[in-house]
Amino acid sequence: MTAPLINTAGIWAIYRGEMARMRRTVWQSVATPVITTVLYFIVFGSAIGSRIQHVGGVGYGAFIVPGLIMLSLLTQSISNASIAIYFPKFTRTIFEILSAPLSFGEAVFAYVCAAATKSVILAVIILVTATFFVPVQILHPVWMVAFMLLTAVAFSLFGFIIGIWAESFEQLAIIPALVVTPLTFLGGAFYALDMLPQPWRTINMLNPVVYLVSGFRWSFYGIGDVGVGTSLAFTGLFMALCLAVLWWMFRTGYRLKP
């Protein structure tokens, strides 16, 4: 009897285990994004929104909704995927995964799908919460879902790389805290790039998060700082780069094997 080409049982076992971890902390997982979203609307929507009524013809409170969702997607995708692979390394159970009848692609697929699923669930919770504060319009719902899924998968792959690279909990948190979150705040999550003076507007075009936020906001309101094609191209390129790095890590055993 020939073995199946894809180990669906192994993939499902990893995916189910990762999702069970989220269910054990469901109140924390749900309450945190809801409270954070409410605080953002109080601080940014009320305080700043009282001075900036509209941005690109969209009310400021509604304008920041895609940025809030993108901020959650980026941070949660990285966090979920990085801790998923780092914890087995920390507890020395990574060898069970490496010796299991799972290919590199199957293991990454299972972990990344679980991390992306959790991130998308939180993003949807934030979107629903936002509708209680501001009128949210989604002009291109298919593209909105596509951008959400692509971003969640791409940054789950990036988080997986961080989890393999990290050798301590400090290293695990340093890139999301010191790189990703600042880039998100600078990437137009809460303002349009044309509100920046030169040369900062041109410099900020080097920020990769600009392309993600812009494409995602376009799917809501039909406005963006860069073209939607450019946003999609960047997301695809970033995902391909992460896959190449992960392939090299598993092929060489980088920080996975002694």
- Compute the average pLDDT of residues 84-110: 86
pTM of the predicted protein model: 0.90
Amino acid at 161: I
Percentage of residues in the chain with pLDDT exceeding 90? Answer: 36
- Compute the average pLDDT of residues 164-183: 88
Closest CA to 235 of 108, 127, 143: 143
Q: With a cut of 70, say whether residue 3 has pLDDT above it.
A: no
**Cβ neighbours of residue 91 under 8 Å, at least 6 residues apart?**
none
- Compute the average pLDDT of residues 103-116: 92
**Cβ neighbours of residue 122 under 8 Å, at least 6 residues apart?**
29, 30, 33, 72, 76
The predicted pLDDT at position 86 comes to 92
Name the average pLDDT for the chain: 87
Out of 23-27, 78-82, 152-156, which region has the weakest mean confidence (pLDDT)?
23-27
Q: With a cut of 50, say whether residue 1 has pLDDT above it.
A: no
- Rounded Cα distance between 191 and 23, Å, is 35
**Residues constituting the chain:** 258
Q: What is the pLDDT of residues 18-73, one digit of tens each?
A: 898 888 877 777 777 778 777 877 777 667 766 777 788 888 888 989 998 998 89
- Rounded Cα distance between 244 and 239, Å, is 9
Out of 143-147, 183-187, 219-223, 240-244, which region has the weakest mean confidence (pLDDT)?
183-187
The predicted pLDDT at position 22 comes to 81
- Identify the residue whose tokens are 């940025």: 67
CA dihedral sign, ordered 37, 40, 44, 47: positive
Backbone angles phi, psi at 43, to 5 degrees: -80, -55
Tell me the sheet residues that pair with 255.
Answer: none
Q: Is 70 helix (H, G, I), strand (E, B) or coil?
A: helix
CA dihedral sign, ordered 35, 38, 42, 43: positive
The predicted pLDDT at position 130 comes to 87
The predicted pLDDT at position 16 comes to 93
